[in-house]
Amino acid sequence: MPTLPDVRVLTIKDLSAAHTFLTRHASRSLPFLAALAREGRRDERHLLGFCAQAKLDGLILLDDSGVVYLQCPVPQGLSALLTLWRQEFEGGCTGLTGPQEQVEALLALLPSSPLPYRLRNTEQILTRPLPNELPVLPAGLLARPARMEEADYLAQLRQAELAETNGLPPSADLLAYLQRDIPAQIQASRLIVLEHKGELCGYGQIVNVQGTVVQIGQLYVPPQLRGRNYGAQLLAGMCHMALQRGARQIVMLITAQQAELNALARAQGFQPDGEYSLVLFDPPVQLTTSSRNR
């Protein structure tokens, strides 16, 4: 007789199995893996699991900010997880994030009244397996971790990038955050710069490291230095550094507006692996199924 599907609240004892499950879908689960590492330090678990054939086949997790992380490739698991959520937890969620098709499937299970969307963002997942060796950069070019004495200049570059992307200067709160965050990123060796004959030509960020899988975030080359192939060399240098640190796979999340970065990544062997979505609500939304889905 086949084993019936099971849904339950997971405990600290289940963290290893949850991590193993998410690692099987690593390129589509990096934010979830990072959240699991953070939330695993909490005494109270807000992690639900869907099991079929005695193995874990789906997860949802509520983090401290009220955002629900989703990874459930089995369609019937979504409805079962929502049913358990309604039984176990009170209050709503401030957002959903996960593979785009799963987020949309979960949204379709919610009540049909208009949802109070504050943000609906979708990024393409690009992934590249790393070979055993990568070519070094041309002579005179060096990709390396940023140094603390470069923090002020990198904060200026980040401000310029945000102004260019958003069309508006960063707010005072955001500027204050950058003054704190840039040094912290440098200390963690997460900011990588491209240097050409002593001049900084751009920077990139390692935003997530989960085992042998590394997620690269934004790449930025100042406008006056563009057209010299620095962006491609920066990405190549970051992949080379990741390989030296033990990475076997690189993942990037790229928006539709980042056409140049998309082309640059594909030219270096990155391939699409679906889409990743972030949906935010204001006010929070109750995760209950609509009557037509019960």
Provide the mean pLDDT of the chain. Answer: 89
Label residue 54 by pLDDT band (50, 70, 90): confident
The whole-number pLDDT of residue 53 equals: 75
- 120, exposed or middle or buried, with CB in 10 Å at 0-12, 13-18, 19+? middle
* Region 45-64 average pLDDT: 87
* Region 11-37 average pLDDT: 92
Q: Which residue has the higher pLDDT, 169 or 78?
A: 78
pLDDT at 44 over 70: no
pLDDT at 3 over 90: no
List 122's β-bridge partners, or say none: 277
pLDDT at 291 over 50: no
The whole-number pLDDT of residue 258 equals: 86
Contact (Cβ atoms closer than 8 angstroms) between residue 217 and residue 206: yes
Share of residues in the chain with pLDDT > 90 (%): 65
Report pLDDT digits (tens) over 132-162: 999 889 999 999 999 999 999 999 999 998 8
Label residue 50 by pLDDT band (50, 70, 90): very high
- Six-digit token pair at 154? 């990198």
The whole-number pLDDT of residue 294 equals: 42
Closest by CA to 98, choosing from 285, 284, 281, 277, is 277
* Region 42-56 average pLDDT: 78
Q: Residue ranges of the domains in the chain? A: 6-123+276-293, 131-247
Neighbours of 255 (CB within 10 A): 13
The whole-number pLDDT of residue 11 equals: 86
Label residue 45 by pLDDT band (50, 70, 90): low
Ramachandran angles phi, psi of 65, nearest 5° = -85, 0
The whole-number pLDDT of residue 276 equals: 97
* CATH architecture for the domain at 131-247: 3-Layer(aba) Sandwich (3.40)
pTM: 0.88
CATH code reported for the domain at 6-123+276-293 = 3.40.630.30
